[in-house]
Amino acid sequence: MYLNFNALPALIALAILVTVFAAIRRQQTGERVNLWLTGWAFILLRSVVEFAQSGIAWVAQIERAIGQCAMVMASIAFVVSVAPQATTWRRQLVIALVLGVPALAYTNAMLWGLNVNGFYYAVVLLGLLAALLLLWGWHQEITPYVLCVGLSLVGLAALIGWSISSGHPDYGVLLILASLNFFAGGLYWYRFNRPSAGVLSTVFGFVAWGLTFPALILLAKFAPSVRVESETWNIPKYLVAVGMIVTLLEDQVHATEHLAYHDELTGLPNRRLLQDRLTQALARADRTGCKVAVLLLDLDDFKEINDTFGHRIGDAVLQQVVARLSSRMRASDTLARSGGDEFTIVSEIATAEGAQSLASAMESALVLPLSVEGELVRTGVSAGYALYPDDGADPTELCAAADKAMYVSKRGLRSQ
């Protein structure tokens, strides 16, 4: 055995990257991070094989096969991680098998010297048919996404078929690796769809990574004497890794900002965002001369629901309540969670009758019981409202007037 110290810098860098992704995985348990860690572990495996070489011919052939298959599996893991259809682990497995079986069969046949063109044609055809059937089976309609993916698959099959017919089936392995990286880059953009530093870096890195494989073909054909340092080929890998990490940081910042203005359980605006929306609504009312209704809603007997069924059921009840209330409102209205079982609505209306109609709609939304995990749960809502500028000149006065009206409504309900 001898050590290829030219591969040592890449090995160290990839080991650090895998350690970083493993640390991220402990903080974020999403499937995407798991698949990214898996992909980088495969890349690290390839680097280990390149660093520690046996020097024995038949063992070196096995090492080469391991390294090449590791590259294919890494690319497939990256594709699956951002595939929009990969919503469950079963679907992830199906995509991995549809992509991986033909890719690995082709790669290993080439590595072990199988010289039967019919086999390669069959693998390409079966792989194409399986991918197209899966694509159609999951979508059932021709959309721009389906059309782009379908045409890309057909184009890839045609290119590999050309390489076989031209006497260079070995080009097919490089075309497979290139296409997987192009797919990963395209799906990454399709999944995140934002021009941020992390997303752009990752997409550009995948495209550059994919281009390295046809570049190898072109160099071997037109400039065989040109030697490119291994670290140059590794630059796209590092760009992808850094881009992925930056993407995760961007998502974390976005989630933190979202939680600063939204309720974590229901996703509704919290008091902070409610105050901002109300202030904006009052400013528009001053300009247009319309009215603003502030409705305060309080769930009836919600404490008893928590005591009887537990807080898990209580949380599910709140989520269903939000869905029902939202279905009775206009898209322009704001529904916010202003307390444990209290909600506030801000609605721009033309007349006072509009506020009364909205309050009645909220009360009727919970007439029927809720079905939560097989349990029928009954609750209601007491609503009180105040109008701007009739009942208050600022947000504080309006909310106080709505709160007073709500408690009048609740006492009236209890006295019945």
Q: How many CB atoms lie within 10 A of CB 368?
A: 10
Which of the 8 DSSP states describes residue 268? -
Q: How many CB atoms lie within 10 A of CB 204?
A: 15
Structure tokens at 326: 């939202």
Map tokens 């929009």 to a residue.
84
C-alpha triplet 322, 308, 415: angle, nearest 5°: 75
pLDDT at 393: 87
Q: How far is it, in rounded angstroms, from Cα 314 to Cα 34?
A: 32
DSSP string, 315-364: HHHHHHHHHHHHHTS-TTSEEEE-SSSEEEEEEEESSHHHHHHHHHHHHH
pLDDT at 66: 92
Map tokens 């898996």 to a residue.
38
Q: How far is it, in rounded angstroms, from Cα 177 to Cα 200?
A: 21
Taking the chain (416 residues) in runs of 10, the rounded mean pLDDT of each run is: 77 91 83 92 92 77 90 96 91 95 95 92 96 92 92 95 92 94 96 93 96 86 73 86 94 89 92 93 91 92 86 91 92 91 91 88 90 87 90 90 86 54
CATH number at 271-415: 3.30.70.270
pLDDT at 416: 47
* Diameter over CA atoms, the chain: 95
Q: How far is it, in rounded angstroms, from Cα 126 to Cα 243?
A: 34
Q: How far is it, in rounded angstroms, from Cα 240 to Cα 237?
A: 5
pLDDT at 153: 95
Which residue(s) pair with 349 in the sheet?
291
Helices (H) and strands (E) in the chain, counts: 14, 8
Which of the 8 DSSP states describes residue 265? T
Q: How far is it, in rounded angstroms, from Cα 379 to Cα 301?
A: 6
The Cα-based distances of 186 to 148, 189, 259, 322 in angstroms read 10, 5, 30, 36
Q: Any residues with CB less than 8 A from the CB of 404 and at least 6 apart, and which?
A: 384
The Cα-based distances of 118 to 107, 109, 125, 131, 155 in angstroms read 15, 12, 10, 20, 19
Amino acid at 141: E
pLDDT at 412: 60
Please, what's the b/e burial string for 168-193 (b: 16 or more CB within 10 A of its CB; e: otherwise)?
Answer: ebebbbbbbbbbbbbbbbbbbbeebe
Give the domain ranges of the chain.
Answer: 2-261, 271-415
In Å, how far from its chain's centre is CA 349?
38
- Of the candidates 36, 47, 72, 101, the residue with the CA atom closest to the CA atom of residue 174: 72
Task: Say if residue 389 is preceded by a cis peptide, omega within 30 of 0.
Answer: yes
pLDDT at 140: 87
Q: How far is it, in rounded angstroms, from Cα 273 to Cα 262?
A: 7
Q: How many CB atoms lie within 10 A of CB 263?
A: 18
Would you call 55 exposed, middle or buried from its count of C-beta atoms within 10 A (0-12, 13-18, 19+)?
Answer: exposed
- In 3-state terms, what secondary structure has residue 365? coil
- Give the total residue count for the chain: 416
Map tokens 């349990």 to a residue.
375
- Of the candidates 2, 8, 3, the residue with the CA atom closest to the CA atom of residue 231: 8
Is residue 316 within 8 Å of 373, Cβ to Cβ? yes
Which of the 8 DSSP states describes residue 369? P
